[in-house]
Every structure is written in structure tokens, then in C-alpha cells.
Structure 1
Amino acid sequence: MSARILVVDDVIPNVKILEAKLSVEYYDVITAYNGADALKIALEQQPDLILLDVMMPQMDGFEVCQRLKADNKTAHIPVVMVTALSEAADRIQGLESGADDFLTKPVDDMALFARVKSLLRLKMMMDEFRLREETSSEMGVISMSDRKEEAIQRARILVIDDNEYSVRMMKEIYAETYDITLEPNMEEAQVLLRGGDYDLAVISLDSSNYDPLRLCSKIRSLEETRQLPILTLVDESDKDKLIKGMEIGVNDYVMRPIDANELIVRTRTQILRKQYQDRLRHNFHRSMELAVTDSLTGLYNRRYMSNHLDAILQRAKLDYKPVCVMILDIDFFKRVNDTHGHHVGDEVIKEFSLRIGASVRGIDLACRYGGEEFVVVMPDTNLSVASTVSERLRRQISEVPFSVSKGTLELNLTCSIGVTVSGESESSDSLLKRADKALYKAKRDGRNRVVVAPSNVEVFERPHGIAAR
């Protein structure tokens, strides 16, 4: 995995050592020797990761990190503090400044590269979701949510540890802030993880009753838990396990003996990151939904219907089954807008779409074609059935008044409907044009009626020797 890494340190030999180590692993390394230059380079060159020294003159690493995280253009760049400081208070200050991790000099090569790879994997995924969100926002599909920290008061944590002492300690640390589940058995933990919707898994790497790395691997391999953050508890003697765990996909770790403040900060960081990731993913799926649906009615839009109709016709051709299409138009709808206003017109459109939805089957595709026109695609349906459904819907529209303006106004409305059925080698364009001509005839002949336009071959005939499916 190649990436651009910014190394920041006021001591030139330290920069050169890290630059050499990273270059051997084929990373593109850029350097800065003070905080001001680091901020400028980060903004201009957008590195994938920053290795940041803490003890620098004029502007220390804590301040640099705070400024990076305060700027939306650089806030997403992972920052690893690299320093000679080793006190827990220093690590906590670095994490509270927004750093993603804290490495102590002299930096162990295996730990460094495992952390770099882990953070780069995460950034690549987050960048993809951010890009999709920004694209959707630019297209006006969604509006960007603010990037303030979200409430984590009742986030859910699953602790998998068979050490009674550390379990008691974590219960005390987490109890007031989080919903915590304690499970010493790996098999039971897997069951809980698959259905628990947790925000974080805390796993001890020194268990004697199960293989913690296998559990971490299982979490990363299952669709339900693939995005779940994993925080591990590690003894100094378990360094090899830690390195392997980072390669598998562990997000973070806390060394034993556990410092309560460090555990709290790292836990909070992972949960906030997951909530941000979940928001990006939700916005992406929401933007996809909005891109194919009509915002007023919730029905599919014309673009989606056109593409989907092509697929339906291809499948129908293979199965030798007809597809019917009806186009509906509200009669004299302009009078509604002109007389009562567009807000009433919108209410009518929404109610009309609800009646369509209530009158068609689950396999049918209903969409807003534009303005007051709607289309219903009915797979595996002959013209007789489609005509019956159309007539029932026409009567339901004409016989039941539309109640609008919070029940203060009732409107008697009607609709015209054109119906047709697909023939062999039918294209979506020709099918829709034929249905539209039938609708035009219904309008021309007096409205409030259904006009049926048969195809050349109204019912498909199955070739000899091919069994029904």
C-alpha cells in the first residue's frame, strides 16, 4: 500500500532516520522541520499520514495537531505523535489534541509500520465515503451534516476478557458512560457481536482460554462486524501478538498495566470515529436513495424507472412473459394550482401517489414520471389484468374526494390512464410511447377514462419444446 507521509521534527537526524525507514517500504515521504511549515504542507499537499514530533520550538506538536484537526481540510488526516515523552499524561494530552496514536522514541519498527498500515487502511475507506458525501452535496442530493462531535453517552461496548481483575476495572471505568457487556467466552462473544450492534469491541490479547487473534480475524471477516472498531489490551510480553493483530485489523491498543485515563481517551476516540464513519455511510446510502426517488412522493423517479424498465423487459424476454405499463395523469391539475396554490397541489400529488401505491402489487414499479404524470410497470401481467387494475384505480380516484389543507378542503378529481403491453423485442422507449399515446387518447376523448393500446403480439407464445418456468 503506497501513500504520502509527512514527517515533522525539528531534529534533522530524526527526520532522516524516519524518512529512510519509510522510503524502504516504498512510501512517498515529505518533510517539515517546524509546526508552521507542517501546517502549510499538510494543507497544500494533503498527505495520507503525519508523523509529528511533540517537542518543537515555537509551536509544539500538541498545538500543531489541534490546528490540523480544527481545519476541515486537514481534519481527516491521521496524526501519529512521535516523541521521547513516555508518561501516560503526555499520551493522553496527545490523544486529546486529536492524535490518532502516540509512539515513544526510539520507535520500534514493527510497531511503527503496523500502525502506519492500520491508519492508512482506515483513511482510504473514510476518504472514499467523504468523497461520495461531498459529491452528493455538490449535486444537491444531500446537505452536508455538521462535523461536530456526536453524543456518545450510551454507546455500546463488548468486553471480551477472562481476567477478573481487568474486567472489574473496566466495568468501573465504563459503567457511568457506556452500556457495557462483559463476556469471557469467545464463542458466546461471537454470537453477541453478530446481533448486538456494538460501537466497540475491547479484546484482551493475553487470554489462556481462547485465541484472541482468531477472534479479531473473525470480526474482520464477517459482514455484520467488519466495520466494528477493535481495541486490544496488551501485555509488554505480547508485542508479537500486537503486531499481528494490527495487521489483521485491530484499530488501537492499551498496554498493561491499564491507565484508566488513557483507556477512556482511546475508547472515546474509537467510538467517535465509528460514529463519523457511520454517518458518512448513512449519508452515502441516503444519497443513493434520494438519487433514484422523487422527493415529494417517495416513489421512484423517471431516471430509475427508465433503467429498471430495460432490465424488466430483458428478463421478460427470457421468461416469455408480458410486461404491462400504465401512464396516469391527473385531469385539470393546473386548475388546482391556479385556484388553491402549489402547496395544495403538492398535497394532491402526495395523496395521488399513496393511492397508486395502495392499488398495485409489491412486484409492480410505481414512479413519478414528471409533474402530475405517473407510471406503473407491471411485470408478468397480461393486458386484461392491467386493464382491470387501471379501471379500479380510476374509480378510486374519481369516487373518493381528496382531503387537503388539514381536512378543511375537499377536492373532487379524476385521472386519465393509458395502458399497453409489451410485445416481442420491445424496447422501453416504444412501450412508453405507446402507453403515452393511449393516455393522450383518453385525454382527447373526454378524460376520466382508461384507454388500452394492445401490442402487435398481446400475449407471448412460448416456442415449442421450451417448458414453462
Structure 2
Amino acid sequence: MSVQGTILVLDGVSTNRIMLKVQLTAAWYHVVQGERLRGLPTLLRRSQPDLVLAAQTLPDGKAADVKKLLAGDPTLADIPVVAITQQNDKAARIQALADGLDDVLAYPFKDTLLLAHVRSLLRIRGKQQELRINDEPKSIGFAEPQTAFYKPPPAGLVALLAHSTRTNSTWRKALSKQMPNSISTHTLPNLKGILSAPAPDAIVVELGPGAAGQTILSDLRSRATTRHSALIGVMQGDNADLAAEALDWGADAVCQGGFETDEIVLRLKRHIARKQTDDKLRASLRKGLTDSLTDALTGLHNRRFAMSALDQIARKSLNSGRSFAVMVADLDHFKSINDRFGHSVGDLVLTEVAGRLQRTVEKAGFVARIGGEEFLICIPDVPQENALETADLICDRICAEPFRLPDSQLSIPVTISIGLRLCEPWSLNRSGSPFLAGDLLKSADIALYAAKKAGRNQVQIRPDAA
């Protein structure tokens, strides 16, 4: 998306293009103009628009052809296209939505309504782009192999929010004939039912005069339960100012002229599909972030997480004046386990060690696997005697019970050595030098080396230097 926002206006009538350019330029958008499909691919690649406003009928095609052209290019597929129809042409509006257009505007329209539509669509596209890394969903694990089994998307949950139970009943009956979705009904202004139920994929909201309807939209958009739900406003009449306000207050679409079933169904299908795609991207992104901070074998945190967390704990210590402990733990003679029993058994031992470490430390601090058989344990807000007790307890729990192999009577004795660094706040930034997590890790490593040299299966302490 460009800094200003680039809008491509496609219309065979020059006066229409000029009028739109004046309206959009006044709002600080960069406007590019075209009049036909011929040459459009080159124009799209050159201008890279953020939004396309296209007349329903062009000299050599339709707005739907523009949408198909964009959909065929992965780098342009997410660009929204708005069809501009003639006044009071209900059939053209329904057809545009059925053709996959993102929204419809009818001449003549106010600047406020045009710009509200533009802002809403750019906002939706911006959110979608934020869910992608370098515009490649596969980079966060969203893309699936070509051979993956196709699983149809769920029908989605729809909530109806009207001013009366009678209106809700009428809407529900009309939608149920055309949609397989689970539909719930709720009465304005009470949101308790929606907020306490499973998050709906889409909410159809009855809008009326005054600020009540817009306030409901804003409220729904701010709640964790409904933040990502598609919001579709329904209003009687053609109040452009009210429609513009509804879009700016959070609606993804506004249906003017009352509840038109065909239009509502088309909008619901489109926005539910978009919302479900965004949900998958969000879940994939969360999983990708978690995986990037997690050791795949043991489920513990990995080195990347550990170094960042250690840095944060140290900085918190500087502010709080409380000490913390850093331990580096390493299994003794682990190579001999791999050599004798194989790496699969070695992996089982590492996994069991991780579990024992985690159960020992629990919520007092964190445990991370930072190397092959090396672990980092950090415990904030802990005095020296308690840190030493925890380190000794770790040693005891590792060596007290041999590691039993599945489907075998064989058990493997395992011990662990620990280097403990006790950290006082005054020592973290001596001489005004910045704190580095790596310095503490090296210091604990020195203590670990001392534990190995002293015979293993023990704790050695490296206190702060005076």
C-alpha cells in the first residue's frame, strides 16, 4: 500500500473519471485513470493500486472482468474492486456482488460516502496484508501442499442484532432459506448474548437514526469476542451520511434501502469467507511465532526465546533491585548414551529430562533447551539460598530415578551438572556498559565447566564479582 493510497479509476466516461479524481485527490489519495480493459494489465503493474473503482460497464468489458484479471495475478489478487452502477439499479448492484466485486456504489453519491467506502476497504486490505509476511502466506505455514486433502470451510456462525424480536424473526426466516449457517438472534442494545456465546463469523446489525447503531458497531469492533467478526449494517432509506458514519465506526459493509435478502446473503458469504481465511492466517501466524520460540523435540523454549527472556529479566532486576539466578545445566556423558543405545533413545532421555526440569522449576522461572544436551534455567526474584536449593533439587531429581526405556526392562542412569550464576542488580551494568544476556550465559558456563571438572553431578556457583 502506498503512503498516500493509490486509487485506480476505470470509466469510459471522461467526466466521471474527472469527478472521481477531484473527490479523491481532495482527500490526499493518488489517482490513476483508465477507461477500458485493453492495456489494463500493464497499467496495474505500473501503478500497483490499493483500490480500483470501476464502472459497472466499460467500453470493452465489465467491472467483473477487472476483478477476474486481478484474481489471476497473485500479486494483485487482494486489491479490492468497487463497481459503480447507475442510480436505483438494484439488479446491477446484486449482479456486481454475485460477480465477486468487493462493494458497489451508485451514482450520484456524496463525497462522504465515497471516502467512507474507500477507507473501509483499505482498512480491511491493510489488516489482511499485516497477516502475511512478504505477501507469502506460506512463509508462516499457511500454504498447504498441492496434495493436501481438501476440507470444505465451515458454514460459519451468523448473529442477527435488530431492534425487535419481530425483525429478527423475519430476517432469520429469510436467510435460513438460502444459507446453511447457524443463525442466532439478539435484540439491541443488549450485547450480552453475542459476547457470551461463541464468536460469530458475521453480525448483521440494524442501523437507525442517531448514534446508537454506530455506537453498537464501535462497541462490537472493540470487544475481543467480536473484534474480527464481519459487521454488516442494514438501514432503511438512502441516508448517505448515516451509511458513511457506519463504515467509519467499524462496519465492513452497509446495505441501504432495508433488508434485501439476496444482497445480504451475497455480502455474508463474501465476508464470512474472508474472515475465515483471516482466522487461518492468524492461527498460522501464532503457530509460526510459537514454533520459532520452541524446541521441537522437548517442547521447551529454545535459545532464541531464552536470550530475549534473560535480557528482560535482567532489565527488570535493574528496576526492581531484586536478584535473579541463571543456571546452565548439561547432561553428563550424554554422548555415551547415544553411542550405546542410539539417537532415538537419546531423544527420549532429553524429553524426560525436559519434563523433570519443567516440573521442578514450574512457574518460578523458565527452562529452555539451548544446545544438544544443554539447558538454561532462569529464576527471577530469588535470593541466593533459594537458587542453590533449586539447583540441588534439579540434580537430585535427574539422578534419583533411572530413565526407563519403553517396552524394555532396561533403565539408564543419568546425572546432570549445573553452573549457577547469582545476579545482583548492581553488577549488571558496571562502568555504564550495557547489559548483555550473553555475558551472563558465559559466566554460568564457566561455573558449569567447574562442576564438570570437579567430578560432575553437582552444582558450582559463580557469584557476582565485587
Query: Quick one: which of 180, 184, 196 aligns to 1:181?
Result: 184
Match of 2:334 in 1: 333
Deviates more, 1:162-171 or 1:5-14: 162-171
Q: Tell me whether 1:12 sits opposite 2:10 in the alignment.
A: no
Residues 11-43 of structure 1, C-alpha deviations (whole Å, 9 max, x = no match):
333323322322222211112222243333334
Q: Count matched residues.
A: 451
Cα separation, 1, equivalents of 2:305 and 2:298? 14
Cα separation, 2, equivalents of 1:408 and 1:261? 69
TM-score, scaled to structure 2: 0.86
Cα separation, 1, equivalents of 2:405 and 2:135? 36
Taking the TM superposition and a 5 Å limit, the aligned residue runs for 1:153-192 are 153-163=154-164, 166-175=167-176, 177-186=180-189, 188-189=190-191, 192=194
Deviates more, 1:258-267 or 1:387-396: 387-396
The one-letter amino acid of 2:182's match is D
Cα separation, 1, equivalents of 2:42 and 2:464? 68
Match of 2:115 in 1: 113
Q: Tell me whether 1:145 sits opposite 2:154 in the alignment.
A: no
Match of 1:3 in 2: 5
Q: Tell me whether 1:383 sits opposite 2:384 in the alignment.
A: yes
Cα separation, 1, equivalents of 2:214 and 2:454? 74
Give RMSD over aligned pairs: 3.1
Q: 1:429 to 1:179 in 2, by over 3 A?
A: same
The alpha-carbon deviation at position 62 of structure 1 amounts to: 1.4
Cα separation, 1, equivalents of 2:298 and 2:373? 11
Query: Does the 8 Å contact 1:363/1:379 carry over to 2?
Result: yes
TM-score, scaled to structure 1: 0.85
Q: 1:320 to 1:24 in 2, by over 3 A?
A: closer
Q: Tell me whether 1:438 sits opposite 2:441 in the alignment.
A: no
Deviates more, 1:356-365 or 1:409-418: 409-418
Cα separation, 1, equivalents of 2:173 and 2:9? 39
Q: 1:20 to 1:269 in 2, by over 3 A?
A: same
Taking the TM superposition and a 5 Å limit, the aligned residue runs for 1:27-38 are 27-38=29-40
Match of 1:74 in 2: 76
The one-letter amino acid of 1:401's match is P
Q: 1:80 to 1:364 in 2, by over 3 A?
A: same
Match of 1:267 in 2: 268
Query: Does the 8 Å contact 1:390/1:450 carry over to 2?
Result: yes
The alpha-carbon deviation at position 65 of structure 1 amounts to: 0.8
The one-letter amino acid of 1:99's match is L
Query: Does the 8 Å contact 2:234/2:256 carry over to 1?
Result: yes
Match of 2:310 in 1: 309
Query: Does the 8 Å contact 1:133/1:283 carry over to 2?
Result: no
Query: Does the 8 Å contact 2:202/2:229 carry over to 1?
Result: yes
Cα separation, 1, equivalents of 2:249 and 2:240? 14
Structure 1 unaligned residues grouped into runs of 5+: 458-469
The alpha-carbon deviation at position 374 of structure 1 amounts to: 0.3
Q: Tell me whether 1:451 sits opposite 2:460 in the alignment.
A: yes
SS across alignment from 1:362: helix
Structure 2 unaligned residues grouped into runs of 5+: 429-434
Q: 1:409 to 1:3 in 2, by over 3 A?
A: farther
Query: Does the 8 Å contact 1:39/1:64 carry over to 2?
Result: no
Taking the TM superposition and a 5 Å limit, the aligned residue runs for 1:403-414 are 403-404=404-405, 410-414=411-415
Match of 1:61 in 2: 63
Cα separation, 2, equivalents of 1:375 and 1:329? 9
Query: Does the 8 Å contact 1:8/1:38 carry over to 2?
Result: no
SS across alignment from 1:183: strand
Q: 1:195 to 1:114 in 2, by over 3 A?
A: same
The one-letter amino acid of 1:54's match is Q
Match of 2:301 in 1: 300
Identity of aligned residues (%): 29
The one-letter amino acid of 2:240's match is K
